[in-house]
Amino acid sequence: MVRPLHHGIPSAHDEPHLSGRAGWLRAAVMGANDGILSTASLIVGVAAGAGDHVTIMLAGIAGMVAGALSMAAGEYVSVSSQADVELADIKRERAELHRNPEGELDELAAIYETRGLQPGLARQVAEELTEADALAAHLRDEIGLTDLSPPRPLQAAVVSALTFAAGAMVPLVVGAIAPLDAFTIWVGAATLLALGTLGALGAQAGGAPKLRATVRVMVWGVVAMAVTSAIGALVGAAL
């Protein structure tokens, strides 16, 4: 989807911003985190239910494939919906500018007044920005659309699927070599290490505090595996 703000003209202050990574970073971190945690929880739960090694690995591989496809579909639909909403806003704003340009100019000036500009200066800024690119000014300042991180449904879907599968490989590889009597310990330790590393890397890429992100993802990992293991044990005993 083409965003109508820069028109391909470099800004005098072009510089990298971490928020510009939000689209692909969110999909990558979410995909890898889900791949690690959901697959680990699945095979730990099956192992707690007294599954043999072949059954555990079969369940894990099936979970990896199903999860990757589900993540891809979910991300594609979600980001496509976001793109559709933004496109509708752009069309609506373009129509309003054509139908009532003076009213839209007044609206833009009022926005700048609420941000602290004096009425005369707000009007001058609104007029100059309208003359330069009225649609871009309204999209940015009235609706909040920028071209910093445009929605890319296909990119989000592919990144989510690949990172989910890559994340799922961690507990699967460890589970393949782990002895059955210590399966949960091996897979649990590897999973927490992978989740902690992922949390730290994601925080670094996004410019956020590493410790908080690492602790947060590891705590939820422990909770998810403990609950799944408990349920697996209960179901296995009942069966």
pLDDT at 140: 86
CA distance 202 to 218: 13
Q: How far apart are CA 177 and CA 85, in angstroms?
A: 48
Q: CB of 170 within 8 A of CB of 36?
A: yes
Could you give the percent of the chain with pLDDT greater than 70? 86
Which residue, chain included where needed, has tokens 């739960």? 45
pLDDT score for 175: 94
Residues of the chain predicted below pLDDT 70: 1-27, 147-150, 205-206
Taking all residues of the chain, what is their mean pLDDT, rounded to a whole number? 83
User: Domain extents for the chain?
Assistant: 24-232
Q: Specify the pTM.
A: 0.71
Question: How many angstroms separate the first and last alpha carbons of the chain?
Answer: 52
DSSP state string for the chain: ---SSSTTPPPTT----GGGGHHHHHHHHHHHHHHHHHHHHHHHHHHHTT--HHHHHHHHHHHHHHHHHHHHHHHHHHHHHHHHHHHHHHHHHHHHHHH-HHHHHHHHHHHHHHTT--HHHHHHHHHHHHHHHHHHHHIIIII---SSS---HHHHHHHHHHHHHHHHHHHHHHHHHS-GGGHHHHHHHHHHHHHHHHHHHHHHHHT--HHHHHHHHHHHHHHHHHHHHHHHHHHHHH-
Conformation bin of residue 207: beta by default, left when phi > 0, alpha when psi is -120 to 50: left
pLDDT of residue 36: 94
Q: What is the pLDDT of residue 26?
A: 65
Pair of tokens at residue 42: 């699945």
How far is it, in rounded angstroms, from Cα 207 to Cα 213? 11
Tens-place pLDDT, residues 92-109: 888 988 898 888 888 889
